[in-house]
């Protein structure tokens, strides 16, 4: 294997975290801000890019180009590497950024390549390449929810994604097609054909409340779908804050809005 071979365990239900077990000199890479805790003896280092073998063999300018591409996906130029430099086994944990599920992916079981939404990557064994996938289709680029660019995970090691709500994996046979809300699509294997379709019918388009487009995926391959995209969660929080004006005293009460009227701030 080119990637480090790591063991792991996922804890929790709604707010999960993954615990990575490292043997001596094994390393796991992660996005900044996902670290939760680690045993004594693990060394933290900020690296330029993802530290994969492909990137190391590309030379200085290759590393700059690879890291620069990460900026396009909205990620940092740098990643954090956690290396076990002692003896025995040590553990490091990474937490979910919002309620949902952590998806473990053994890339060697998916032909060494998985395409995912830009903010789905959580951490991976060192040696996994974290790059970008450009869409060559205008419809997918403009209306796919993720734009022209998605993340691309390549290698033969373990990688971990995070998605909102409940996550389901669908296996598509050759020629089998499914349609998914563009925001609910988490990722798919490289053989899946991904495109965008317009919702049929003027009434459905403007009054259906489901948007104008959905993602069309055709097998063979695996597709991961989330029930609660972060963008949808954020929209509902913003809408609720506007509706209630930051007050929730009457919510869930038999008094309803009367509870707010009787609040001392209104007198």
Task: Say what the pLDDT of residue 65 is.
Answer: 67
Calculate what percentage of the chain has a pLDDT beyond 70: 70
CA-nearest of 170, 222, 14, 41 to 101 is 14
Domains of the chain from N-terminus onward: 7-245 (3.60.160.10)
Phi, psi for residue 27 in degrees, rounded to 5 = -135, 145
**Residue of higher predicted confidence among 230 and 179:** 179
123 Rama sector, left if φ>0, alpha if ψ -120 to 50, beta otherwise: beta
Q: In the predicted model, is pLDDT for residue 231 greater than 50?
A: yes
Residues in the chain: 267
**Residue of higher predicted confidence among 24 and 3:** 24
CA-nearest of 141, 156, 158 to 53 is 156
Instruction: Report DSSP state, residue 173.
Output: P
Q: In the predicted model, is pLDDT for residue 113 greater than 90?
A: yes
Out of 47-61, 71-85, 124-138, 234-248, pick the least confident.
Answer: 47-61
Task: Say what the pLDDT of residue 48 is.
Answer: 76
Report the chain's C-alpha Rg in angstroms.
22
Report d(CA 11, CA 36) in Å as an integer. 12
Q: In the predicted model, is pLDDT for residue 232 greater than 80?
A: no
User: pTM for the complete prediction?
Assistant: 0.79
Which tens digits make up the pLDDT trace of 198-212? 766 555 445 444 556
β-sheet bridge partners, residue 221: 172
Kindly state the tokens that stand for 222. 């695996």
142 Rama sector, left if φ>0, alpha if ψ -120 to 50, beta otherwise: alpha
């Amino acid at each position: 294997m080119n990637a480090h071979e790591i063991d792991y365990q996922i804890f929790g239900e709604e707010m999960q975290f993954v615990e990575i077990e490292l043997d001596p000199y094994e390393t796991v890479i992660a996005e900044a801000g996902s670290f939760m805790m680690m045993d004594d003896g693990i060394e933290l280092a900020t690296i330029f890019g993802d530290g994969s073998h492909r990137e190391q063999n590309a030379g200085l300018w290759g590393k700059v180009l690879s890291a620069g591409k990460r900026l396009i996906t909205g990620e940092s130029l740098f990643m954090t590497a956690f290396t076990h430099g002692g003896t025995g086994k040590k553990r490091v944990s990474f937490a979910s950024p919002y309620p949902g599920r952590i998806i473990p992916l053994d890339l060697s079981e998916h032909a060494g390549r998985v395409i995912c939404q830009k903010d789905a990557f959580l951490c991976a064994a060192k040696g996994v390449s974290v790059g970008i996938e450009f869409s060559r289709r205008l419809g997918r680029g403009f209306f796919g929810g993720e734009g022209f660019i998605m993340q691309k995970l390549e290698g033969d090691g373990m990688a971990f994604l995070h998605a909102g709500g409940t996550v389901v994996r669908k296996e598509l046979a050759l020629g089998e097609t499914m349609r998914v809300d563009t925001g609910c699509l988490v990722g798919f294997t490289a053989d899946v054909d991904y495109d965008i379709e317009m919702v049929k019918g003027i009434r459905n388009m403007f009054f259906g409340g489901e948007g104008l487009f959905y993602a069309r995926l055709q097998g063979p391959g695996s597709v991961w779908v989330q029930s609660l995209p972060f963008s949808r969660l954020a929209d509902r929080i913003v809408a609720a804050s506007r509706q209630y004006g930051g007050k929730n005293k009457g919510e869930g009460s038999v008094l309803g809005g009367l509870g707010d009227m009787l609040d001392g701030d209104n007198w």
